[in-house]
Structure 1
Amino acid sequence: MSRLAGKTALITGSTSNIGRAIAEAYAAQGAHVVVSGRDDARAHEVVERIRAAGGRADYVRAELDGTPEASRALAREATAILGGRIDILVNNAGIFPPGTTLTVEEDTFDRVYAVNVKAPFFLTQTIAPAMIDAGGGVIINLGSWVARLSVPVGALYASTKGAMETLTRAWSAEFGPRGVRVNAISPGVIRSGDQAPGTRTPGDTMMHGTPAGRLGTPEAIAAAAVYLASDDAEFVHGTVLDVDGGRTGVAVIAEPVAARV
């Protein structure tokens, strides 16, 4: 059965990795999706993959720089392409420049908050009222495991994802009673789609000592996004769903010992 048949969806940052996997999964479940991002070549590849598989997809180029105008322009164009309504919004686009607290410059700070927090804030500000007027909708934000299990690098990025998880709960309180479900997914360490199989990275080390014991895949996040967008999650509000192989909640400190006879 198609869990999203007849639905429309806008996924930001959907030309690669997690966003691309969500767009493809939504289309496979019957949704008409708008792929958005800045890389025209990659975007057209995603759209063609979806169409070749029998799905419906279109591309809207978006430079989400944090200005209300940029977010409103994307919402306006996506709404027109999707026949006048957006049923599902996935706030996925984000940037993670390297650096520590001691090395981050002000322009980097402002840029990361603009893309990771301001852009989804103003996009939600624009789209949520239309969802309410249409009788309901779904908003899914992307958080991160580093928002709650701190590491000594990436404080700036982690703080933006903490902000998105907080906004998830705030928006759920604000919009939930008016028919718009708001939830978030907190991915663990995810293997890049262009990473060669068998290649070890620092991420593999981060997943050592977890129940999964390995990196996650974009498809695992996409499966969670399908669930949260579907009617199966109709009683789920204001939740941050950890899809992280147990990274934030569990520590495996020893190998299981066989029971003695």
Structure 2
Amino acid sequence: MNDAESRGEWALVTGSTSGVGRETALRLAEDGYSIVVCGRDRDRAAETRKAVESAGGRAVDLVADFTDPASVRGFIAEMKEAVGDGTVEVLINNAGGGMFSPTEDTTEEMFDAAFNLNVKAPYLLTAAFAPAMAQRGRGAIVNVGSLGTTAATAGTSAFQAAKGALMMLTKSWAAEYGPRGVRVNAVEPGYVLTPLNEHVRHMYGGYLAGVPAGRGAEPGEVAEVIRFLVSPKASYVQGVTLPVDGGKNAVVPL
């Protein structure tokens, strides 16, 4: 039994019904954390919970729409009731997505949804759980961003602006909570081979040709980096945003 398991600690992984979030939840369960699984689809949330339990872990599954702040607040109350006296030691702000369209075609509703999902939901969750982590003097928060915050593409302005805000919050929260024992970091994945991205894979031929790794990332490869940032192995890592993009951010194609 490791420390997380012996202390009965919980890890909240948002968007953990598929892709990077699901793989992260399974790995943190292996490390002894009890897992709060959440997403918009009840059946997929239950499936991830069962996968954790089948591997010998403990989990609860909850449903929320993180584009709706009222749903986020309701989720926080429901989650606190579900974990009871358990302590939330890890927060993975993974749920995200974009409303991709040219700026002139992006409605105010689309813009608000992008910021609610990618900025306001992580903000509300951090405000709800980071203070207790700081009071205990330990905890880890990992925000999941996007390569789109370092290199722009046309037609994704609201999404990229929202993810850029989340990366700045990573630094702000490191300054705010780091001195009290809470490590806050972020990852910036490039193209990840998730079910969500499957239907647009044909659009990324030129992008992948410029990736030194020569391919997109498997969800588990991103999850392993998140797992590292949560672990004691990253005890002196704070306020960083780590690209997990196969080298795309490091090279200029000629």
- Which residue does the alignment assign to 1:239? 240
Hey, what does 1:248 align to over in structure 2? 249
Give the counterpart letter for 2:182 in structure 1.
V
Q: Percent identity?
A: 38
Q: 1:148 aligns with which of 142, 147, 150?
A: 150
Alignment deviations for residues 88-128 of structure 1 (CA, whole Å, 9 cap, x no partner): 00111112123111210111111111111111111111111
**Can you list the C-alpha shifts for 1:14-34, whole angstroms capped at 9, x where unaligned?**
111111111111112221111
Any stretches of 5+ residues in structure 1 without a counterpart? 254-261
In the superposition, the TM-score normalised over structure 1's length comes to 0.88
Moved over 6 A (4+): none
- 3-state DSSP class of the match of 2:127? helix
Q: 1:224 is matched with which residue?
A: 225
SS of 2:119's equivalent? helix
Shift of 1:194: 6.9
- Counterpart AA for 1:232: K
5 Å-filtered alignment, 1:18-167, equals 18-67=20-69, 69-82=70-83, 83-167=85-169
Structure having the higher helix fraction is: 2
Q: TM-score, normalised by structure 2?
A: 0.91
Deviations 1:191-241 (A, max 9, x none): 114777xx9522243121221010111101100111011000110000001
- Label 1:123 to 1:194 Cα distance change in 2 as closer, same or farther (>3 A): closer
Stretches of structure 2 that go unaligned for 5 or more consecutive residues are none
Aligned AA for 1:176? G
Q: Deviations over 1:175-204 (max 9, x none)?
A: 1001111000100111114777xx952224
Distance 1:186 1:70 in 2: 26
Matches within 5 A, 1:130-209: 130-193=132-195, 201-209=202-210
**Aligned mates of 2:245, 2:197 — CA distance in 1:** 18
Equivalent pairs counted in the alignment come to 250
Over 3 Å counting, the alpha-carbon distance change for 1:194 and 1:96 in structure 2 is: closer
When residues 4 and 225 of structure 1 are mapped into structure 2, their CA distance, relative to the original with a 3 A threshold, is farther
Q: Could you say what the CA RMSD is over the residues aligned between the two structures, in angstroms?
A: 2.1
Over 3 Å counting, the alpha-carbon distance change for 1:252 and 1:217 in structure 2 is same
Q: Does the CA contact (< 8 Å) of 2:67 and 2:114 recur in 1?
A: no
Deviation at 1:140, TM superposition (A): 0.7
Report the Cα distance in structure 2 between the residues aligned to 1:36 and 1:200, rounded to whole angstroms: 26
* Kept in 1: contact 2:135–2:180 (CA 8 A): no
Cα distance, 1:147 vs. partner?
0.6
The structure number with the bigger radius of gyration is 1
- Classify the secondary structure of the residue corresponding to 1:55: coil
Q: CA deviation at 1:66?
A: 4.7
SS at match of 2:35: strand
Contact 2:100–2:158 (Cα < 8 Å) also in 1: no
Is this contact kept in 2: 1:71–1:120, CA < 8 A?
no
Q: Distance in 2 between matches of 1:88 and 1:165?
A: 18
Aligned to 1:256: none
Contact 2:26 2:52 in 1 (8 A): yes
Structure 1: how far apart are the matches of 2:136 and 2:76? 15
Counterpart contact for 1:2–1:29, Cα < 8 Å: yes
Task: Return the alpha-carbon distance in structure 2 between the equivalents of residues 252 and 99 of structure 1.
Answer: 26
Using the alignment, how far apart are the partners of 2:138 and 2:110 within structure 1? 36
